[in-house]
Amino acid sequence: MGPNGNGGFFAAASSNKKVKGVLVKTDYVQIIGVDNIINKVLDPVFIGYTKENKLHAAGKAVIKRDASEKVGVFCRREVNKKLVYDIAEYSEIAAEDRDAQNQDGSLQ
């Protein structure tokens, strides 16, 4: 199975019955982006943190330096009138969303 970019694994896994069957029987799955330098394969500290805090999912990220930095972001978006968590590629983000700031001037 070859995902089609950031987050592509989830769409592929949901449409493949064999993969779905394996995932149902699996307690933990680690999915990391190859271009995310802060991820470590089978990171025992991060996996332990996720388990200890009873999280369904966890991800590592750093804050963007500025709005124009060409990196993907964790986000929430509306799909079928429901908010879902996702990863957006920098090229998919509208300028108004990319440049949006909080009251303190930090990026949203």
Query: What is the secondary structure of 69-91 as a DSSP string?
Result: ----EEEEEEETTEEEEEEE-GG
The whole-angstrom separation of Cα 75 and Cα 63 is 13
**66 DSSP 8-state letter:** S
How far is residue 86 from each of residues 4, 18, 25, 55, 105, measured CA to CA in Å? 14, 23, 24, 16, 24
**Which pLDDT value is given to residue 89?**
87
Domain that residue 31 falls in:
27-56
Per-10-residue mean pLDDT, the chain, length 108 = 62 82 88 82 94 92 92 88 88 94 94
Number of domains in the chain: 2
The whole-angstrom separation of Cα 71 and Cα 28 is 27
For the chain, the residue count is 108
pTM above 0.75, yes or no: no
**Which pLDDT value is given to residue 97?**
93
Same domain, 73 and 102: yes
Same domain, 72 and 50: no
Neighbours of 76 (CB within 10 A): 10
**Which pLDDT value is given to residue 5?**
64
**Which pLDDT value is given to residue 45?**
95
Same domain, 48 and 67: no
- Determine, yes or no, domain membership for 14: no
**Which pLDDT value is given to residue 30?**
85
Neighbours of 86 (CB within 10 A): 16
**Which pLDDT value is given to residue 7?**
63
